[in-house]
Structure 1
């Protein structure tokens, strides 16, 4: 199996997992916060969807600087989140299909101005900053859902709500 195919399989599966979760949200819950130190459900859902598009940032850039490259998304409905998720997947799929596989071994740096947050091979950035980060925040969102009594879909197997 090629590196491209392996990346695409993982990205599509994670997109579908995110889609199952996002599709159960309600627009009226976007301002919900389980704790004063927590982000709102809307901010968290936006971040989860945006993380899927970080594939583009990792594979097409050598450096990403929060001070100059980052724009926080402000999608305000479940429909917008789902549309963006799908559009970003299609864009990332095209990038991966056209890339030279050796690009994943090139170095990538995440920084904030002059401060280097992390520098690692792009394959590691895909795993660490995209997939692992995405899975972490999706887990947080399922806790918000549970607290709001929104049925939580199974992601890597059935959930308690799937079994009910």
Structure 2
């Protein structure tokens, strides 16, 4: 079995949990945030969608410069309506699944770099990058979002319950 096939199977479960959580966000709670310098529900939800959108670039490219010299730096999107969030999530989900589909193991062993202004911040194998910066990072932000929603007064079952 290809590494990408294993990842695709895991991704399917991750997508279902994440989409279920995103769908629970009422539009009127998007701007809620805990006290202090922490991000809003909308920022965390948007980041979950954004993370998923990284998969095609990791699989298909060798690097991403988030602030290329002489060009506009990358700006993370913030979506404030649940319906739009879910549309983007579905679009990024399909693109992620498509990017992993039939990707040979050799691609997962290729290096991928995150850069800023031409300077390499880190380099790792594409497969490891997807595991760490997509799968694990998504689980991390799903946890934050779950806590924020509970703190904002919403009650719902665990994302791990069926």
- 5+ residue gaps, structure 2, are none
Checking the alignment, whether the CA contact within 8 Å between 1:21 and 1:153 is kept in structure 2 is no
Give RMSD over aligned pairs. Answer: 1.7
Among 72, 75, 79, the alignment partner of 1:75 is 79
SS of 1:120 mapped into structure 2: strand
Higher helix proportion: 1
CA deviation map 1:41-62 (0-9, x unaligned): 1111100111111111211111
SS of 1:58 mapped into structure 2: helix
Task: Give how far 1:98 is off.
Answer: 4.5
TM-score, normalised by the number of residues in structure 2: 0.89
Task: Give how far 1:37 is off.
Answer: 0.7
SS of 1:119 mapped into structure 2: strand
Paired residues in the alignment total 158
CA deviation map 1:87-134 (0-9, x unaligned): 111112222224333100000011211332211100110011111111
Match of 1:99 in 2: 103
Task: Give how far 1:14 is off.
Answer: 0.8
Q: Distance in 2 between matches of 1:38 and 1:117?
A: 24
Match of 1:66 in 2: 66
Task: Give how far 1:157 is off.
Answer: 4.3
Does 1:137 find its partner at 2:141?
yes
SS of 1:118 mapped into structure 2: strand
CA deviation map 1:1-47 (0-9, x unaligned): 32222111111111111011111111111111102211111111100
Checking the alignment, whether the CA contact within 8 Å between 1:29 and 1:41 is kept in structure 2 is yes
Match of 1:47 in 2: 47
Range 93-102 or range 106-115, more displaced = 93-102
SS of 2:115 mapped into structure 1: strand
Instruction: Compare relative contact order (CA 8 Å, sep 6+) and give the higher one, 1 or 2.
Output: 2
Match of 1:153 in 2: 157
Distance 1:40 1:4, change over 3 A: same
Match of 1:121 in 2: 125
